Structure 1
Amino acid sequence: MSAKKSILIINQSAPYGSSNGRESLDLALTCSIFEMPVSLLFVGDGLYQLINNQSPEQLQMKKHEAMLSALPMYDIDQIYVTAEDLSENGLTENDLAMPVTLIQRDFIASLIQQNDSVLTF
C-alpha cells in the first residue's frame, strides 16, 4: 500500500470576511480523517484566524476557536506562523489561540516542497 499524500494548507485570508478560513479548517479535518498528514501555514491576514478571544457574533459569524481546538484531536499538530507576520502585526505567540511553530518567511518554499499537495485559501 502506498504512503498517504501529505498536504499543506496555506491560510492567507482574514477569518471573517469570507468563508475561506472555515473551509480551510474543514478541509484539514476531513483530510486527517482519511489519515493524510496535514500541515497548516497561517500567513498575512490568515494570521488573524489564530487570535484569541474574537467576537465574530457581531458579524453574525461563528468563532473559529472550536475548530482550532479540535486540530490536536485529529493529529494536526504541524501549525506554522511566520515570525515576521507576528512581529509586523504587533502580536506574540501569547495572542494566539493555540501553540504554533514559528518559522522564517524564507522557510516557506522548503515547507511547500516537503508536501505532496498545497492548497491556498
Structure 2
Amino acid sequence: MSKSLLIITRQAPWAGPSAREALDIVLAGGAFDLPLGMLFLDDGVFQLQPQQQPAALQQKDLGANLQALPLFGIEALYASQRSLDERGLHGQSLAMPVECLDDAALTLLIDHYDQVITL
C-alpha cells in the first residue's frame, strides 16, 4: 500500500521555482495514483489568486497546472484560513475550490499524512 503524501507549498508563484516544483511533484504523484494532498500555506495562498498576470514578471502561469490537479486525481486541496486572511484573500473568490482550514485543523491534517514535503 502506498504511503500518503502531503505537499505544503509556501511560496508565492513569482518568488522563485518552489511553487512550480511543488505542482510538478503533485502532478507526478497523481499520475502514479499516489494518495496525495496539497496545502497552500503562507505566501503559497497567492497561487490561488485568480487572474494573475505572470508574463509581466517574465514568469509562466501556474493557473493551468492548478486547474489540472483534479484531472490527475488530486482533489485533496487545502489552504490556511489564517494565511488567506493575513493576505486579504477570501475562500469564495479563489481560482479553484480548496478546503480552508484553521490552525487546529491544519495540525490534524498534517498528522493524517504519512509523509510531508514543504517547498
Q: Same fold (TM over 0.5)?
A: yes
Partner AA of 1:13 in structure 2: Q
Aligned to 1:36: 34
| Aligned-pair identity (%) | 39
SS at match of 1:41: strand
Number of residues paired by the alignment? 119
- CA shift, 1:24, in A, is 0.3
Distance 1:50 1:38 in 2: 18
Aligned to 1:58: 56
Q: Where do 5+ consecutive residues of structure 2 fail to align?
A: none
Distance 1:94 1:108 in 2: 19
Distance 1:92 1:29 in 2: 25
Aligned to 2:84, which of 83, 86, 107?
86
Range with bigger deviation, 65-74 or 77-86: 77-86
Alignment RMSD, CA only? 1.0
Distance 1:25 1:18 in 2: 13
CA-to-partner distance for each residue in 1:16-46, whole Å, 9 max, x for gaps? 1110000100000101111101100001101
Using the size of structure 1 for normalisation, the TM-score is 0.93
Distance 1:108 1:92 in 2: 17
- CA shift, 1:115, in A, is 0.8
Aligned to 1:105, which of 103, 106, 113?
103
Q: Where do 5+ consecutive residues of structure 1 fail to align?
A: none
**Misfit runs of 4+, over 4 Å:** none
